[in-house]
Chain A
Amino acid sequence: MNVKNVIPYASTMLLIVGMMTLLCGCWDNKDINHRALPIVMGIEKSEDDYQVYLLIPMKDQDKNSALVVSDKGTTINEVIDKMNKNLEMQIDLLHLKIIIFDRSIAEKGLNDSLSSFMRAGDVSPKTIVTITEHKLRPLFERMNAASLNNGISLYDYFEKNAGWSPHLAQTRIWHVFRSMQSETKDVPVPLISAGKATALESSGSAVLRKGIMVGKISSDETLMFNAFAGMGSQGKIEVMNQASVLIVSDTLSHSTSLVENTPVLNSKLTLKVTIIETKGSPTATLIQQELEELWTARYIRMFRKVQSNRADILGLGQLFRNKIPMDRLKYWRDDYYPRLKFNFRIHAIIQNEGLLKMKE
């Protein structure tokens, strides 16, 4: 190589080496062992301050454990900063899976906290939102004690591909954020408490209206909500004293109309069920009739309840988007929804009767 070629060659090499410092993309990088990755966050109001709890999984040399950290402050971010200062690791909320709000916060509204999560982007919008009616400290201690596999199992409680059941609402931050802005759609949020044998127990769902808790529905009513949203399969229903059935599939059809400015909704829910348990010897037709009557009545009762709260968790206003002009639809929750005539019908199909024959 002659001298003439050396200079461009050397400068190219220098450039490549220089690039390596830039291109590696590691800037102020903190290794995984210097990060604390909480999976559950609890937020409670005590007097004027926020009390924040974090459940952080820890990996000691050979045993898995979890750590509960809590602190107080005027904003959630201030509390996290305080914890960061006291903890020997950097708290990284990106992998947070569950947020638990105290009921008193939920009744004042989750808007500010959830909007700031959406804005900062440090908490994933997919994080599951829950509300508890009890004190947070015993709940976190229970979760810490009962959770296997350093707390990851808590996450499975809400995951569709793991421990979720259709008796539980599945509501994420972005669902609540959407409903806060939406004119026609509200959300239920699961109510949880410390379980006796298990880490968590659910006692139904809180009804949120524009991000503010206004009421409660039971676990069975949550199943109805999920069936309405097309997520009811594998849900079990007790039919009076005669049988219990398992939902295999649910399909919903609607027709909407506006009669003299009163919205009318006719809905038909087709449930395909299988019989899993009988008491005595009822006929399949009897079970089918009982199921239809029972669930129709329960649905109407649940609907009346949320209607009186003026919270449209079933998203019925969505069905009127092309019937009511957009500028009127803004008043859906206060003007139209309380007057909505909801004609609901259930059509049950018993797909099979299990492995035992049943008399007609």
Chain B
Amino acid sequence: MDKSMQVIVVYLLTHIGLIFFMYPTDIIECLETGHWSAILLGFAIHVALLAVYLKGLQFGAPNNVIDIYKRFGRWFAIVFLFPVALYFAVVIVITIRAYSEIVTLVFLDNTPLWAIMALLLAVSSLVAVYGVETIFRTGILVALLFSPALLLVFSLSFQNADWRYMLPLIDQRAASFSYVFREPFLLSFFAFTGGFLFLGFIPPRIPYKPRKVLLASAALLPMFMLSVYVPLLTFGQSAASLLQFPFITAVDTVNVSWLMFDRITLFFLLSLVGFVMIYISLVMWKTALMIRSVVTIMSPIVTILLLTASVFLACLYIPNWHAVERILWWNTLLRLYVMLVIPFVTLVLGFRLHRKGAAH
């Protein structure tokens, strides 16, 4: 049975969960005008890498990405995939820490951080323990539950838009791509690279069509645009660049008299926290899979419990938001490795496996 639908839904919602917080901050910071150029560039890179990665996986099928690397030697796999596992672990720490900080900032200002982190971690690791099928099914459920609220928020979010803030469409900085190697733009890849590697970890018992996933990625472009342009059109670049979470504040300005709730931000935030939980459980499951492929004696539950405990401890050691931003920046090197090296190496290895298979 073709399960592309589940894969696509999880692919979309893990990205949507990541887009709306740090991504607009980075993009608004990196340009004064012509932000669409940065969004399109990032998105084009994402789609290109996704295509390369999927092609490599298709060649290497029915192996998952770990098996493909292992076919070229155990140490080969460890050398290439260790940075990926490290990246995933850091990503879990950052995501948990950042989202609990966001939740505290926006609505639960009395609740201690550790409780929110424990809650996020507990739910995610519970889902991760049950494996990828559970993650996918929960993903479908979460998507069904929350997408009406999200659609409502998206359609209302343009209430205060002043379209003239779109102009001028481009300036020299945007046209010359001089922002590409600057910190904010590199940081913005956090939203692009976090999710798509999971496509390589899906076991063959969940068949999906890579072409459909590639097509579905087009649905993300409006999300990226929305996340940057809603705050830009509401506040203008100079005011929006002062905001920590521009999209959230922009949604806060929406005034709906017929709705009995005063702040639609809460619906939005809760939906996204739901999506992020799916994302964290997915990354956890991937990391556990990688750990277990090296240390084969560990059972899935023990691996995930150990991982959860160490992530929680690491989260407790991060003192403030500034530190989160620093770690996010240090992680850029790993991120560039994961997003640039892994897809291409996978393509090469997959192609060689494919030729070997054909020769036999």
**A interface with B by C-beta (< 8 Å):** 19, 22-23, 25, 27-29, 95, 118, 121, 124-126, 159-161, 172, 174, 177-178, 180-183, 185, 315, 318-319, 321-322, 326
Contact = CB atoms under 8 A, between A and B. Distances in A.
Interface stretch (B51-59, B210-218, B235-243, B306-314): B235-243
B183 interface: no
A22 B239 contact: no
22 contacts: A19-B122, A22-B119, A23-B119, A25-B111, A28-B110, A29-B110, A126-B252, A174-B234, A174-B253, A177-B235, A177-B239, A178-B234, A181-B239, A182-B236, A182-B238, A182-B239, A185-B236, A315-B162, A318-B162, A318-B164, A318-B165, A321-B165
Which secondary structure dominates where chain B touches chain A? loop
A7 to B, nearest CB: 14
Interface string B226-252: 000000001110110010000001001
A95 B262 contact: yes
Interface in B114-145: 115, 118-119, 122
B168 A326 contact: yes
B115 A22 contact: yes
A119 to B, nearest CB: 9
Nearest to B242: A181
A174 B105 CA distance: 18
B115 A27 contact: yes
B32 interface: yes
Contacts of B168: 321-322, 326
Contacts of B171: 326
A271 B105 CA distance: 46
B262 A161 contact: no
Contacts of A160: 257
B295 interface: no
Interface residues of B, number: 33
B262 A178 contact: no
A25 B104 CA distance: 12
Nearest to B248: A121
B152 interface: no
A180 B164 CA distance: 18
A79 to B, nearest CB: 20
A124 B252 contact: yes
B281 interface: no
B249 A125 contact: yes
The 7 A-B residue pairs with the shortest CB-CB distance in the complex, in nearest-first order = A181-B239, A27-B111, A28-B110, A161-B257, A321-B167, A322-B167, A181-B238
Given A27-B111, A124-B262, A321 B164 contact: yes
Interface of B: 32-33, 105-106, 108, 110-112, 115, 118-119, 122, 162, 164-165, 167-169, 171, 234-236, 238-239, 242, 249, 252-253, 255, 257-258, 262-263
Given A124-B262, A318-B165, A326-B32, 20 more contacts: A22-B115, A27-B110, A27-B115, A28-B110, A28-B111, A125-B253, A126-B253, A159-B257, A161-B257, A172-B255, A174-B234, A174-B253, A177-B239, A181-B238, A318-B164, A321-B164, A321-B167, A321-B168, A322-B167, A326-B33
A263 to B, nearest CB: 15
A31 B249 CA distance: 26
A172 B253 CA distance: 9
A178 B239 contact: yes
A346 B115 CA distance: 61
A95 B263 CA distance: 10
B356 to A, nearest CB: 45
Contacts of B262: 95, 124
Nearest to A126: B255
A117 to B, nearest CB: 12
Contacts of A126: 252-253, 255
Nearest to B238: A181
A124 B106 CA distance: 11
A126 B165 CA distance: 21
Contact of A27 (B32, B112, B257): B112
Contacts of A172: 253, 255
A98 to B, nearest CB: 14
Nearest to B169: A322
Contact of A124 (B32, B167, B263): B263
A118 B242 CA distance: 10
Contacts of A178: 234-236, 239
Nearest to B106: A121
Contacts of A159: 257
Contacts of B112: 27
Contacts of B111: 25, 27-28
Contacts of A185: 236
A99 B105 CA distance: 23
Given A28-B110, A126-B253, A126-B255, A121 B115 contact: no
Contacts of A19: 122
B308 to A, nearest CB: 13
Contacts of A183: 238
A28 B109 CA distance: 10
A172 B236 CA distance: 16
